[in-house]
Structure 1
Amino acid sequence: MANGKIKKMFPGGNTSQGFYSYYDNIIEPDAKRIFVIKGGPGVGKSTLMRAIGETMFDKGYSVEFHCCSSDNSSLDGVCIPEIGIAMLDGTAPHVVDPKNPGAVDEIVHLGDFWDENLLRKNKSAILKTNHLVGRFFQMAYFALKEAKVIRDEWESYITEAMSFAGVNAVTLKISKEIFSDVKPDFSRPAKARHLFASAITPDGSINYLDTILQDIRKLYIIKGEPGSGKAALIAKLTDQAAGLGLDSEQYHCSLIPQNIDVLVIPKLSAAVANLSEPVCFDPICLPNLEISEEINLSAFLNSETLSHYAEEIIGCKTRFHAAFNRAVKRINQAKAEHDLMESYYVPAMNFKHINAKKEELLARIIKYAEEKSIH
């Protein structure tokens, strides 16, 4: 078997609209098997999924690690696309319930392996800590909503000063270079997969673009001020790809989840990515990259119009970063409280039994893989 690859992304994010989930895009609903892992904090859900994922990677399978936006060291899910297997964290805030129980979905409840009496002794502390986790996230979402409002004001000044004829010309140029040799395929609707490439985490803005773009040969990097047309440019190319019958991976903006920050077209080994602040990424790390072009849409700004709003724009930048950083601080505080809550659960867990459960799941997944290879 060929060597597999590891890909990392976020299925959910802390956004200006609260927690936003693309969990339904981790794997197709008609997968071979979806294991929904239930249980409290610190019971070993992420550790179990990671261990199985790493074992399958060692066996040569490509594995997707779906990372947690609220805890950089934790996983929300693991997917092995080649054999149609996924494991999902089914607890809040991304509650997952079986859609096709038995036929596809199966609940694995790690709460079967805890000492309920010990947890009851810490009931008041758990309730208090759980309340604080929720409160800190609420405060973080207030701050991100504020950041979005400030960004809207910032965008209004930039948009007024933009020459969108230049943006349209750039869009057409990229379109011709990506799609000129594509023959439309109308045999079936194009598939689009929606996830996040970056997330607002306890450590600020984090991305895994080095894994998402590892197979890309042609990359267009789009930069520019808010309101310079980046989202509209990528949206037009996304629509064009769909119109030609091309499947795509669409990675959404961590602050404004309706916007697409990264468009990947696997069949063409091409991608278009908004790499404006706060996303920080250097494409030099990509092993297969042949063409990399950076386009800054701020080049189409009218400096005279822009000068009328210089003071307002400076104010927007200052207030935006203050609100964004306050949100990160609150998410960090929520993680600290969540870590404290885990400390009440860990001593109550029978990890010997959980490890046995992990080995049982691993054996079943290996069997599914063997059956797949036979057929």
Structure 2
Amino acid sequence: MGGKILKYFAGGNTAKGFYSLYDTNLVDLERVFILSGKSKNEKTNIINHFIKKWKDLDYPMEIFYRASNPEHVEGLIIRNLNFAIVDGDYPREIGKEQVGAQWETIDLDQSDRTARLDGELNEVTDLKLKIQQSYLNAYNSYQTGLKVHDEWERIYIDHMNFDLADKVATSLIAALFKKAIPVTHKDSIIRRRFLGAATPIGPVDFVDNITEGLSTRYFLKGRAGTGKSTLLKKVAAEAERNGYDIEIYHCGFDPNSLDMIVVRELGWAVFDSTSPHEYFPEKTGDEVIDMYELTVAPGTDEAFAEEIANIEARYHEQMKLGKFYLAEAKKYEDELEEIYCKVSDHSQTNLMIDELDHLLVNQSNQL
């Protein structure tokens, strides 16, 4: 049977700034190669080399993508080989919680490339400042959007029946764990990720990929503030109490909220299935839980229609601004990459790839 590729984001552009969730996915891996260097494209090309090579050998792998350019990868994990290779440059936080004995940083700029930039140093400095400002503007837009979103949530929170919400959670947890046997011989392994991200081309998600092969999927519907994230936190807590390994997917807009819980040992996922990652049942085992219909006073939408429309318009305006600034940052980053490409030493990069290939083949032979 061929290996499966799991796709996700390990870092995202959020209302809290760039938010890093790399370490929980790298923890306990023996060999982690952390790439450092000016060129993002060079790092992506190196990671793609290993993806192609080991994909052809049918190894299950995890690939995480760049929120700054979702067509490009920024990391690869092959757990069967206890191996990862990842872009480790700022703003990512890698090795903050753990650094294994065989974790290694690889500096792709070992020789001083700036010496070969000649008259372009001023342009490089200017582009870096523009990139920094564009990201700051994007994060400010998302932060403003989150405050508007809080207004949106308040309408529904004020008209929500919390006793009914508790009953929905109790019923769902009973269904999820009705055939489960608690795992008492180990602690849960918890991986924290993003199922989607704000990107220069708009929201991108990997819901279909992440939930592929699961027998049961619960689609949480409902308005802002109707308890979807709270319900997911309760599901995660119950899974941890029972000793199951958990994939926790945080909200790519507000990382303090949750978007999905997956327990592969039990074959299910529960996820927020509202915009910008709205999905609908399409196969046996799919089920909708509508928190608005089940827990909010009837007629709330109609009673506050004018106020909701105003809030929604202001919210979407901030989301559009955020996307604009991310696209602006990418434009400047692309210009910077063109400059770095002129001084890239591909022969040195190829030698480094050959060396890593040799190390990884040796590691695979020892397993």
Which category describes the TM-score, using the shorter chain as reference length?
over 0.9
Alignment map for 1:154-303 (pairs within 5 Å): 154-281=152-279, 284=282, 290-300=284-294, 301-303=296-298
Query: SS at 1:112's partner residue?
Result: coil
Q: In the alignment, is residue 315 of structure 1 matched against residue 310 of structure 2?
A: yes
Gaps of 5+ in 1: none
In 1, are the aligned partners of 2:219 and 2:279 still within 8 Å (CA)? no
**CA deviation profile, 1:230-249 (whole Å, cap 9, x unmatched):** 11111111111111111100
1:193 Cα offset (Å)? 0.8
In 2, are the aligned partners of 1:79 and 1:86 still within 8 Å (CA)? yes
Equivalent AA in structure 1 for residue 70 of structure 2: N
CA distance in 1 between partners of 2:228 and 2:100 (Å): 44
Task: State the TM-score, normalizing by the size of structure 2.
Answer: 0.94
CA distance in 1 between partners of 2:139 and 2:97 (Å): 29
Q: In the alignment, is residue 361 of structure 1 matched against residue 356 of structure 2?
A: yes
1:187 Cα offset (Å)? 2.4
In 2, are the aligned partners of 1:36 and 1:98 still within 8 Å (CA)? no
Q: In the alignment, is residue 326 of structure 1 matched against residue 321 of structure 2?
A: yes
In 1, are the aligned partners of 2:217 and 2:285 still within 8 Å (CA)? yes
CA distance in 1 between partners of 2:326 and 2:35 (Å): 24
Taking a change above 3 Å as real, the CA distance of residues 59 and 91 of structure 1, as seen in their structure-2 partners, is: same
**How many correspondences in the alignment?**
366
Taking a change above 3 Å as real, the CA distance of residues 266 and 97 of structure 1, as seen in their structure-2 partners, is: closer
1:201 Cα offset (Å)? 0.6
Q: In the alignment, is residue 145 of structure 1 matched against residue 171 of structure 2?
A: no
Task: State the TM-score, normalizing by the size of structure 1.
Answer: 0.92
Alignment map for 1:111-150 (pairs within 5 Å): 111-112=109-110, 115-150=113-148
1:63 Cα offset (Å)? 1.3
Q: In the alignment, is residue 20 of structure 1 matched against residue 19 of structure 2?
A: yes
Number of the residue aligned with 1:52: 50
Equivalent AA in structure 2 for residue 294 of structure 1: V
CA distance in 2 between partners of 1:159 and 1:262 (Å): 21
CA distance in 2 between partners of 1:276 and 1:182 (Å): 28
Equivalent AA in structure 2 for residue 324 of structure 1: M
1:308 Cα offset (Å)? 3.9
In 1, are the aligned partners of 2:88 and 2:94 still within 8 Å (CA)? yes
Number of the residue aligned with 1:5: 4
Sequence identity (%): 26
In 2, are the aligned partners of 1:114 and 1:349 still within 8 Å (CA)? no
1:100 Cα offset (Å)? 7.4
In 2, are the aligned partners of 1:161 and 1:306 still within 8 Å (CA)? no
CA distance in 2 between partners of 1:10 and 1:101 (Å): 21
1:76 Cα offset (Å)? 2.0
**More deviation in 116-125 or 340-349?**
116-125
CA distance in 2 between partners of 1:354 and 1:41 (Å): 12
In 2, are the aligned partners of 1:275 and 1:281 still within 8 Å (CA)? yes
Taking a change above 3 Å as real, the CA distance of residues 101 and 257 of structure 1, as seen in their structure-2 partners, is: closer
1:163 Cα offset (Å)? 2.7
Taking a change above 3 Å as real, the CA distance of residues 159 and 42 of structure 1, as seen in their structure-2 partners, is: closer
CA RMSD of aligned residues (A): 1.9
Equivalent AA in structure 2 for residue 12 of structure 1: G
CA distance in 1 between partners of 2:360 and 2:197 (Å): 30
**More deviation in 274-283 or 121-130?**
274-283
Query: SS at 2:183's partner residue?
Result: coil
CA distance in 2 between partners of 1:104 and 1:281 (Å): 41
CA distance in 2 between partners of 1:321 and 1:53 (Å): 37
CA distance in 2 between partners of 1:312 and 1:112 (Å): 57
Equivalent AA in structure 2 for residue 235 of structure 1: K
**More deviation in 320-329 or 175-184?**
175-184
**CA deviation profile, 1:10-61 (whole Å, cap 9, x unmatched):** 0001111000000102222x32201011110256101101111221111111
1:210 Cα offset (Å)? 2.0
CA distance in 1 between partners of 2:275 and 2:360 (Å): 40
1:96 Cα offset (Å)? 3.7
Query: SS at 1:161's partner residue?
Result: coil
